[in-house]
Amino acid sequence: MRFVSAAEVHRLLNWPSLIDALREAHLAQAPRTARLLLEEPREAGHPNILLTLPAWQPGEAIGVKLVTSFPDNVAEHGLPTVSAIYALFDGRTGLPRAVIDGEALIFRKTAADSALGTSLLARADIETMLMIGAGALAPYLIKAHRTARPSIQRVTIWNRTAHRAAALAASLREEGVEAIATEHLDAAVSKADLVSCATMSEMPLLKGQCLKRGAHVDLVGSFTPAMREADDEALRRARVFVDSYGILDRSGEFVGPLQHGVIARDHVVADLFELCRRDRRGRSSRSEITLFKNGGGAHLDLFVARHLLAVAETPQIVNSCITPCVA
């Protein structure tokens, strides 16, 4: 059995080959998945949790992501709130094949999921990206989106705490990326060809009325019913896509709007399986606004873990490149 460290995950999973691997994985049958959440109540705030996310492709592979969240860790122990590992098993024998650093896998998987959406839905000539949120995931999202759309020339960053946006912009400039921080979110949205949101917000930050024609929106946060990143107008103006339909029942991006009749379920045009198989059409014109909800899911973790192990065992796989698919 192999142990794959965080450093190895980041070294082996380059963006072109990972995005392409996710595209190919969506051509096969979707794995069976489940979800188990255990909680330990706390006197104040969110409980301590253990989240178990298994996925099974019969005869191919079995994977389980184990995630803990202990809110007091930072203040009491100087440790991260969230920790994770991923266990991969052989689908024919059930024998364990690898244990993988979970946080690194999540960063790579989440960013590649969004970038695959961009490669399928965003215009091929977009130039300006807006990153809403400057947390740990933001640098990965920026790099993955720029891989999917090399035409991106400028990156603007907005964050509730301005100094974090400035720090991220500075680090990008050191890498040769034209990047600036802004405190004027609405104005930045109105100029952006691609808007990527990765926040913990429970109130909409992105106003649909500010979106320019032809823009693409990537929503990564809002992974609980209480969270929301985009307002109702953004949903109304956009053709909406998801990575998988299960997110419609888990994300505040959809739970409230569906309950209140802002949109109907058939307003969601397609998921990644349908887009990659070309069962449904993505962008239909240069002027329309597209919106992609990144919901994650155990099937994506399994896809990435399988690709990671294949690369580790056959290094030349990393030389593959993506073939963008755009209308």
Q: What is the pLDDT of residues 43-75, one digit of tens each?
A: 877 789 999 999 999 999 999 999 998 988 888
User: Minimal CA–CA distance to 223: which of 100, 324, 106, 117?
Assistant: 106
- pTM, 2 dp: 0.92
Beta bridge partners of 36: 52
How is residue 30 annotated by DSSP?
A: P
Look at residue 147 and tell me whether its pLDDT is greater than 50.
yes
What pLDDT score was predicted for residue 306?
Answer: 96
Neighbours of 176 (CB within 10 A): 7
325 pLDDT band, cuts 50/70/90, is very low
Residue 213 identity (one-letter amino acid): R
Instruction: Judge whether 84 and 103 are in contact, CB under 8 Å.
Output: yes
pLDDT tens-place string over residues 233-284: 999 999 999 999 999 999 999 999 999 999 999 999 999 999 999 999 999 9
In angstroms, rounded to a whole number, what is the distance separating the alpha carbons of residues 148 and 116?
7
In angstroms, rounded to a whole number, what is the distance separating the alpha carbons of residues 285 and 268?
17
Strands laid side by side in the 268-270 sheet = 178-181, 154-158, 128-132, 194-197, 216-219, 289-293, 238-242, 268-270
Strand-strand pairing, 238-242 and 289-293: parallel
Kindly report the average pLDDT of the chain as a whole number.
93
User: Minimal CA–CA distance to 101: which of 247, 249, 2?
Assistant: 2
Q: Which domains does the chain have, with CATH numbers?
A: 2-105+299-314 (3.30.1780.10), 110-297 (3.40.50.720)
- Span 150-158, mean pLDDT? 97
What pLDDT score was predicted for residue 1?
Answer: 87
316 pLDDT band, cuts 50/70/90, is low
Kindly list the distances between the CA atom of residue 214 and the CA atoms of 35, 122, 127, 172, 237, in Å, as whole numbers in the listed order.
Answer: 37, 8, 12, 26, 11
User: Minimal CA–CA distance to 260: which of 228, 295, 221?
Assistant: 228
Sign of the CA dihedral running 267, 271, 275, 278: negative
How is residue 29 annotated by DSSP?
A: P
**Tokens standing for 101?**
């650093």
Percent of the chain predicted with pLDDT > 70? 96
- Span 75-88, mean pLDDT? 91
pLDDT tens-place string over residues 209-245: 999 999 999 999 988 898 899 999 999 999 999 999 9
Strand-strand pairing, 128-132 and 194-197: parallel
User: Minimal CA–CA distance to 96: which of 105, 104, 86, 107?
Assistant: 86
Look at residue 324 and tell me whether its pLDDT is greater than 50.
no
**Tokens standing for 65?**
């992501």
Instruction: Judge whether 99 and 312 are in contact, CB under 8 Å.
Output: no
- Helix (H), strand (E) counts: the chain: 10, 15
Residue 192 identity (one-letter amino acid): A
pLDDT tens-place string over residues 91-128: 999 999 999 999 999 999 999 999 999 999 999 999 99
Beta bridge partners of 65: 53, 86
Look at residue 137 and tell me whether its pLDDT is greater than 70.
yes
Look at residue 309 and tell me whether its pLDDT is greater than 60.
yes
